[in-house]
Amino acid sequence: KTNLIIAIDGPAASGKGTLARRLADYYHLPHLDTGLTYRAVAQMMLSKAWSLDDDSRAIEAAGLVDLAALDREVLSAHEVADAASRVAVIPEVRRILVEKQREFARRDQGAVLDGRDIGTVVCPQADVKLYVTASAEVRALRRLRDIEGRGGHADFSEILGDIKKRDERDMGRADSPLKPAEDAHLLDTSEMSIEAAFRSAKNIVDDAM
C-alpha cells in the first residue's frame, strides 16, 4: 500500500514519538509530530508575552503555524509543553491546526502522524491506529533519564507531577480529549524496550497492509 496512514496517539512521554519516527523511517513515510504544532502556538505566545488565557491571540498564533518550519529543538522546552496543553483546549485553535495536519495526511505518499487525537479526530480513516501508553511512573523515569542523558538535572517527583497534570488536562478537556479510538491497537510499553515496542508495532502495521 503506497498511501498508508498510520495514526499514533498516547500521553506525554509514552514513547509514541520515538515509535512514530521509527515506523516512518521503516516504511519510508513522511512523519508529522502534531504536538509540535500546539507547541509552536505556545512558543509564539510565550515569546511575544501574550497571556495564555487570551484565546484570540492563540487563534491568531495558530493561523501562523507553518508545518515546514517546526523546530523540535526550540519547541522542546518544558514550559512550552505545559503552555501547549493549555492552548490545546481552545476549540478554534484545534480546528485551525487539525486542518493543517489533515492537509499533511492528504498528500499521496501516505504519512505517520502522532499526537493525542489522530485516530479519533484528525485521521479517523487511518489504516492503522496505535494507542501507546505506559504507567506515569515509567514515563517520568524515561523523561528523567532523557534530561540526565543530555547533561541536565531534574527532580523525579516534579516530573511525575507535571506528567500527571498534563494527562489530566489532555484527557479531561471537552474538545478532542486524549482517548484510544475504538479500533486502536493498544500498546503498553511500560515493560518494553524501544526495540520490542517497534517490533510489536511493525507486526500490527504489517498485518493491516
Residue positions in the annotated binding site for ATP?
Answer: 10-18
Residue 166 near ligand C5P by CB under 6 A: yes
Distance CA 192, CA 196 (A): 6
Binding test (CB under 6 A) with ligand C5P, winner from 14, 34, 43, 120: 34
What residues numbered 50-69 form the site for ligand C5P, per CB under 6 A?
A: none
Residue 133 near ligand C5P by CB under 6 A: no
* Residues 115 and 6 sit within 8 Å (Cβ to Cβ): no
Stretch that binds ligand C5P, among 48-56, 66-74, 113-121, 131-139 (CB under 6 A): 113-121
How far, CA to CA in Å, does 112 sit from each of 7, 85, 104, 195, 206? 6, 22, 10, 18, 14
Nearest to 28 by CA among 53, 47, 3, 48: 3
Residue 35 near ligand C5P by CB under 6 A: yes
Nearest to 93 by CA among 117, 110, 73: 117
* Residues 104 and 20 sit within 8 Å (Cβ to Cβ): no
> The C-alpha cell of 163 is what?
506528567
Residue 162 near ligand C5P by CB under 6 A: no
Residue 115 near ligand C5P by CB under 6 A: yes
Residue 167 near ligand C5P by CB under 6 A: no
Q: Kindly list the residues in this chain that would bind ligand C5P in the complex (CB under 6 A).
A: 12, 34-35, 38-39, 81, 84-85, 88, 115-117, 166, 170
